[in-house]
Amino acid sequence: MIKFFSTGYFSRYLLLVLLALVLWMPSILYPSSYTGISSYAFNQLRYLTNHNLYLQTIIAFFLTLYTSFLINKIAINNGFNSKISTLVAFLYIILTSVLLGESHNNPVIWVNFILTFALANLLRLPYAKNTIPVLFNASFYVGIASFFYPQLVFLIVFIWLSIILHKVVTSRNFTVTFIGIILPYFFLLTLFFYTDHILEESFVLFNSLQIDISPIFLTSPIEIIISIIFIILIFISVTGIVGKLNEKSINLRRNLTITIIYLITAFLILIFFSKSLISTILMSIPSALLIGHWLSTIKKERWYNIALLSAMSLIILNQYIFIFWDVIK
């Protein structure tokens, strides 16, 4: 499986589309409404689609597919994979389908799409002659993403650490990140003020910006097994990458470190702020990049192939089992 997706033939992309269709078909046929944390921007999108669950899910499907290809391109352009590959796209598609129901219709799908552009800009820092527009773009995208979840404004720490790691530390670079992340809020609050709804809309926007350390648990045995497989894969990938960082080129070493920081920052946001199981999809981008990079460097693939094949099979079973159960009943 790893060797199969370690190539970039057109047939691999067609197979990824087919795999995504197989995983998403139950959700497209029987769409679920999002019931997680209140999301201002997502509420507006639901209003624009007239609360049509079928339309929302179809849009989410194409957005997820496009995001997987964007992340895969980021991996190739920044040397995460040594050659043209579709492995990262494959990993992202299955990682975002671990959970049932609203995992295929939620704000995080939109957040990940937006944050893909933020990450792409940050990974360009070593090659940018002028870092100011790059950092402004990255922080601006984070600001837009925080319209879906306000707690994502704390990803500014991730941007600051990227500045430090790439050794482009200047007062202007730090200042421009503040401007970039605040500017979307300036425009939005101006709109609230103009429409005379600033108090009501601001409450909805910032309602989820509160500390909440209550744990979240999986209840489905299948989802627990799948999650354990991916947690082990992430742990092995991160520890393996960290152990071999000195063997990488300077820019790749820094970009891998930035991706690990992205994963840790997203995890801490989920730990300390309002959350739901669906919010864990926020970690899909760095997880796909790190696992994909690690799998592209190993020689003994047997157990990794077994793990991925088992996870994919269980994910497909998990997506269809409720249909079979209804038929049996």
Q: What is the tens place of the pLDDT at every residue in 90-133?
A: 999 999 999 887 788 899 999 999 999 999 999 988 888 899 99
pLDDT at 155 over 50: yes
Instruction: Say if residue 197's pLDDT is above 70.
Output: no
Which residues touch 234 (CB under 8 Å, ≥6 apart)? 263, 287, 290, 291
Average confidence (pLDDT) over 202-226: 75
Task: Decide if pLDDT at 81 tops 60.
Answer: yes
| Per-residue pLDDT at 3 | 79
| Per-residue confidence (pLDDT) for residue 33, from 0 to 100 | 86
* Residue-wise pLDDT tens digits, 4-57: 777 777 888 999 999 999 999 999 988 888 887 778 888 888 888 888 999 999
In the predicted model, what is the mean pLDDT of the chain?
87
pLDDT band at 140 (very low <50, low <70, confident <90, very high): very high
Give the whole-angstrom CA distance, residue 279 versus residue 103: 9
Whether 316 shows a pLDDT value over 60: the answer reads: yes
Query: What's residue 82's pLDDT?
Result: 67
328 falls in which pLDDT band (50, 70, 90)? Answer: very low
The percentage of the chain sitting over the pLDDT mark of 90, rounded to a whole number, equals: 48
Beta bridge partners of 211: 273
Inter-residue contact 73 to 119 (CB < 8 Å)? no
Q: Which of 216, 282, 225, 222 minimizes the C-alpha distance to 100? A: 222
- Considering only residues 117 and 271, tell me which one the structure prediction assigns the higher pLDDT: 117
Locate tokens 């092995």: which residue?
A: 236
pLDDT for residue 67 is more than 90: yes
Residue 327 pLDDT:
47
What would the DSSP string read from start to end of 139-201? HHHHHHHTTT-GGGGGGHHHHHHHHHHTT---HHHHHHHHHHHHHHHHHHHHHHHHTT-HHHH
Q: Is the pTM of this model over 0.85?
A: yes
> Which of 279, 248, 288, 201 lies closest to 79, judged by CA?
248
What tokens appear for 177 in the block?
A: 């990140």
